Chain A
C-alpha cells in the first residue's frame, strides 16, 4: 500500500494540505476514519475496497474547515457527494483534494472539480446487486404489502438519527425534525413519527442523494432506508434528466422546472 501512503506523505511534506482524512485499521476486519496532520502518521492509512464510510460527511464540520486545506480519501460516491456539495455552494473549487484509490498501487489525486467530473463519466455509479434486487422485490409488491414491509421495518427504528449524522447531504444547521413550532415530526419513536421522519428525510434528499448507502450502513437496526431515495432516481433521471453529484454547477432538480414536465396523474 505504498502508493496511497506515499501520496499522503508527499501532500503533507510539501505543505499542500494540513489535514488528510482517510481510513485506518479498526477492530476486526473493519476500517475507521483517521485524521492525519503529520507526514510520519501517514503510514496509518490503509486501503480497503470495502471502505464504506463516506468521509465527505466531515468536510463541512467547523473543525475540519479550520484546519485549512484538506485532502480526503474518496470512494466514487464520496466524489459524487463532493460535487453535489459544490453544486449547493457548500464547498469551493480547489479548496479540497480528493484521493481516489482503486487499489493499492493505483491512486488518483483530484485537485479540481473538472477532473472529478471527467472521471465520473466513466465510473460505475449504479446500485449494488443486493440493492437492485431488494428494490425490484419491493417494486413488484402491492401497495399494502409495501406498507406492511415498511411499517415492520420502521418498528425497529429508535430515532437515533444515525442516518442523518452519516449522510453527507444532511448538513442543515437546524433540521425540520427538531423544529417544534410547529412540530412537523413528533420526536418519540412511535409508528407515526418514525414513518413521517423517514418520508421527510427521503423527500429532502430527493435529487441530492448520491447512493452512497451511508444511511443504511450507519443504521444500527439495519433498515434498508437507502432504498427510499433510490426508488426515485429513475424518475429523476428519465423525467428531469437529473443525476445528483455528477456536475459541480448542476441545478437542484426540484428547484428548477420545465414548462413541459411530463406527468400522468394530474386531472
Chain B
C-alpha cells in the first residue's frame, strides 16, 4: 500500500516566515515537499475562513506562521492575529475540528532551520493522525451538489 502523503497548506506572512522559508532553501536544508506555501502580506490578513476553505478543498493539515511578537512589519498585525487565533482555536475545538491539524507558529526571516522543523514535525504529526476524512465528507457532499447544479 502506498504511504499516505498529507496535503499541508502553509499560510505565511511575506516579511518573516516567507523569508525564513526562503532561507531554508538557500541554506540547502531539506524539508518535506508535502507543504504548499501561500504568501500573505501579514498574519493579520489571514482570515479564519481561508483556513476553513483549505480544509474544505482537501487539506489534511495547516500551518499558520508569521513574525514573532514585536517584529511585525506593520507593528501590530501579528498581535491582532494572535487574539483572533486564540478564540478561533477554542471555537474550532468546540465545534469538533481536531486542533492538532492546525499548527500556529512564529518563524522569523533568520530561522530557516526552525521552518524546516515546523514543516517536518507537522507532516509527521498529520501522517500519524491520518487524512482528514471527517471534514472531507462534509466537503464531498458539497461537490456532489455543485456538480448536479452545473449539469
Which residues from chain A sit less than 8 Å from chain B, CB to CB? Answer: 138-139, 143-151, 176, 184, 186, 188, 190-193, 195-196, 198-200, 202-203, 206-207, 227-228, 231-232, 235-236, 239-240, 253-255, 257-259, 261, 263, 265-267
Does the CB pair A254–B80 fall under 8 Å? yes
For window 52-70 of B, CB contacts with A under 8 Å fall at 52, 56, 69-70
A-B contact count (CB 8 A): 118
Asked if B95 and A199 make an inter-chain contact with CB atoms under 8 angstroms apart, the answer reads: yes
Q: Which of A147, A149, A231, A261 contacts B90 (CB 8 A)?
A: A231
Main DSSP-derived SS at the A contact region: helix
Residues of chain A within 8 A (CB-CB) of B79 are 257-259, 261
B145 touches A188 (CB 8 A): yes
In the complex the two chains form, what is the Cα distance from A176 to B85 in whole Å? 20
Task: State A186–B52 Cα separation when bound (angstroms).
Answer: 13
Q: A190-B145, A196-B49, A267-B104 are in contact. Are A232 and B90 (CB under 8 A)?
A: yes
What is the 8 Å Cβ interface bit string for chain B, positions 118-142, against chain A (1 contact, 0 not)?
1000000000000000100111011
Residues of B within 8 A of A265 (CB): 85, 89, 99, 104
Give me the interface of B with A, judged by CB distance under 8 Å.
Answer: 48-49, 52, 56, 69-70, 76, 79-80, 82-99, 103-106, 118, 134, 137-139, 141-142, 145-146
CB distance from B72 to the nearest CB of A (A): 11
Partner of A143, one of B98, B103, B106, B139: B98
Kindly identify which residue among A184, A228, A267 contacts B94, using a CB–CB cutoff of 8 Å.
A228
Do B83 and A151 have beta carbons less than 8 Å apart?
no
Could you tell me the distance between the alpha carbons of A172 and B55 in the complex, rounded to whole angstroms?
Answer: 27
Docked Cα-Cα span, A191 to B146, in Å, equals: 13
